[in-house]
Chain A
């Protein structure tokens, strides 16, 4: 094999192929200990396709989980597999993975273009291919105008975009983003979220960890909740909410005469509790959210009540997280 010193020609076809039967990301009873601290404890999950949110309090093990996937740490026990291959032993799967790390450190002395091109070549691209791809992704994250400026001169949001561009340069099947919204201004957040949704729709597998729960809700319903190194919930967020029996659903009604409304609603079998939270607000508790919601409009209309607002205050991720993690 002659060294490709001129770097012309095309990247060779890949010899490693992902295992099509295996989930994209798989953890099988994975534990990770740092001395006496149990960062992860018997975590098992499999993820393939779509956008999945990884949630948890600080110290829940999210970063550890990601580092295990990225081959930075070795699991104390259990199996970690990316596309069916153990990333600690074999870094071949990384040709299909893009990772946006949490910490900010970049090579400040390089231009964004140089940075993306140099590290794109580590996927085996030739110089020309790398330049083309780098231009494409930097255009995608809208840094094309400034891509020849040094990263040291960039703002936080721009640095975040450079990292995203770097992760997308090899058109990966799996994209992992660790706190991608950290340090971004509100407009930036929305747009990054749109990009993530887009990637999910294109059939990629995207893992996102974030503290900004209401924005995770906007892009995905598929979540994994970690708490103290264990998986406490996995799957569709609404389904999970349904399962949290010990925390009845709440419906908040805003009306002029709460007492009258309450009298009508009391008849519904599924309603387990009624509270008058303030002048004009009625809180209904029920274990069957859907059933009550179905009957509510009829009752309101038939009795001629004036209701100005209906809300589900705790059918969101924040409440789920609070209920599952004990509000710590």
Chain B
């Protein structure tokens, strides 16, 4: 091939290099020495270097970008929106079908007390109403009843939500989509946290509000009733927030330390169920409620019993210990989450 005069390079003269040209006869045991030889210099597998008679230098001018960035809250809102709307709309985070179905199922199942209270009012049965109508215990039970809400519904929803939140970003390298943009790691973690907490909050407190207000509507409750019962409702509402927050922080902390989708989900269930069972066994055996402080569910439940003025089911254990436990558990989880996210390396693994 003739050289055109514009190229700055002279023709390369290759040295004796018969190990890898196409004309090389392929012999019995050809080894891939040439390409990756970690040789000590004896072999002839050396490529020649082109020489430059003339060169060119291109001047680079870097200028700072003087455009305007949209406000931080808009970016964060975009992340939040993406995660929350993805539950029921296309075009946002594609939550899997089982997650969506299960959330739908849990919302329906959480409304059983509404249905039963309405039934009671329809039928006019006072016994049925006493069992299912709005009162202190039922408001508490709507949020913190153990079976089936806090063994099957809420923890499993939380587990399904937190499963791949951060771990999938790590595994597939999609965290690069966030961090190559002006989004701080704090924003990233907090928006993910908020999105899960909001979904849980809507499920727990949304159905609670439905329960309370459907009672007002259907039973034709007057203002005096509302004034009487609203503090209880508010108490239960706050408990719902506390529960959502706690489940989210534990779950997300687990998601930030793992790389798979299974581990955080199962880990959350294991922590919630395992600690509860252990504490219950010790309580049954030795009549000691102390171990309940390691159980997140029981700690939150105990605090909420105190908030709502319900008799404590935790023996001699003081609710202040449970409150301390809730704070410590959340603190540890959030600390773990913060450390892991701040050291997250954006490589595709």
A and B touch in the complex (CB under 8 A): yes
Chain A residues close to B by CB (< 8 Å) = 139-142, 145, 157-158, 161, 185, 187-188, 190-192, 194-195, 197-198, 201, 218, 308-309
Q: Does B33 contact A (CB under 8 A)?
A: yes
Chain B residues close to A by CB (< 8 Å) = 2, 20, 22, 24, 26, 29-38, 47
- Tell whether, in the assembled complex, residue A191 and residue B38 are in contact, meaning their CB atoms are under 8 Å apart: no
Q: Specify which chain A residues have a CB less than 8 angstroms from the CB of B32 in the assembled complex.
A: 140-142, 161, 188, 191-192, 195
Closest 10 CB pairs of A and B: A187-B35, A142-B32, A191-B32, A188-B35, A198-B26, A191-B35, A190-B20, A197-B26, A218-B22, A194-B26
Q: Specify which chain B residues have a CB less than 8 angstroms from the CB of A195 in the assembled complex.
A: 30, 32
Given known A190-B20, A191-B20, contact A198–B30 (CB-CB < 8 A) = yes
Interface residues of chain B: helix, strand, loop or mixed (majority): loop
- Tell whether, in the assembled complex, residue A194 and residue B24 are in contact, meaning their CB atoms are under 8 Å apart: yes
Report the bound CA distance from A187 to B30 in whole Å: 14
- Tell whether, in the assembled complex, residue B20 and residue A308 are in contact, meaning their CB atoms are under 8 Å apart: no
Report the bound CA distance from A161 to B2 in whole Å: 37
Report the bound CA distance from A68 to B263 in whole Å: 33
- Tell whether, in the assembled complex, residue A157 and residue B35 are in contact, meaning their CB atoms are under 8 Å apart: yes
Interface residues of chain A: helix, strand, loop or mixed (majority): helix
Q: Specify which chain A residues have a CB less than 8 angstroms from the CB of B30 in the assembled complex.
A: 191, 194-195, 198
Contact of B26 among A142, A201, A308, A309 (CB under 8 A): A201
Report the bound CA distance from A5 to B331 in whole Å: 52
Closest to B45 in A: A187
Report the bound CA distance from A190 to B17 in whole Å: 13
Q: Can you name 16 A-B pairs with beta carbons within 8 Å?
A: A140-B31, A140-B32, A142-B33, A161-B36, A187-B34, A188-B32, A188-B36, A190-B35, A191-B34, A192-B32, A194-B30, A197-B26, A198-B30, A201-B26, A308-B2, A309-B2
Q: Specify which chain A residues have a CB less than 8 angstroms from the CB of B33 in the assembled complex.
A: 142
Report the bound CA distance from A145 to B39 in whole Å: 11
- Tell whether, in the assembled complex, residue A142 and residue B20 are in contact, meaning their CB atoms are under 8 Å apart: no
A145, A188, A194 — most chain B CB neighbours (10 Å): A194
Closest to B35 in A: A187
Report the bound CA distance from A87 to B54 in whole Å: 60
Closest to A200 in B: B26
Chain A nearest CB, measured from B43 CB (Å): 12
Q: Specify which chain B residues have a CB less than 8 angstroms from the CB of A145 in the assembled complex.
A: 38
16 more contacts with CB within 8 A, not counting A157-B36, A188-B36, A197-B26, are A139-B31, A140-B31, A141-B32, A142-B31, A187-B34, A190-B20, A191-B32, A191-B34, A191-B35, A192-B32, A194-B20, A194-B24, A195-B32, A218-B22, A308-B2, A309-B2
Report the bound CA distance from A142 to B32 in whole Å: 6
Q: Specify which chain A residues have a CB less than 8 angstroms from the CB of B31 in the assembled complex.
A: 139-140, 142
Chain B nearest CB, measured from A60 CB (Å): 27
Q: Specify which chain A residues have a CB less than 8 angstroms from the CB of B47 in the assembled complex.
A: 187
- Tell whether, in the assembled complex, residue A185 and residue B35 are in contact, meaning their CB atoms are under 8 Å apart: yes
B22, B24, B36 — most chain A CB neighbours (10 Å): B36
Chain A nearest CB, measured from B36 CB (Å): 6
Q: Specify which chain B residues have a CB less than 8 angstroms from the CB of A198 in the assembled complex.
A: 26, 30
Closest to B26 in A: A198
Report the bound CA distance from A154 to B36 in whole Å: 12
Chain B nearest CB, measured from A149 CB (Å): 12
Chain B nearest CB, measured from A189 CB (Å): 8
Chain A nearest CB, measured from B303 CB (Å): 43
Q: Specify which chain B residues have a CB less than 8 angstroms from the CB of A185 in the assembled complex.
A: 35
Chain A nearest CB, measured from B201 CB (Å): 39
Closest to A187 in B: B35
Chain A nearest CB, measured from B312 CB (Å): 49
Report the bound CA distance from A198 to B25 in whole Å: 10
Closest to B19 in A: A191
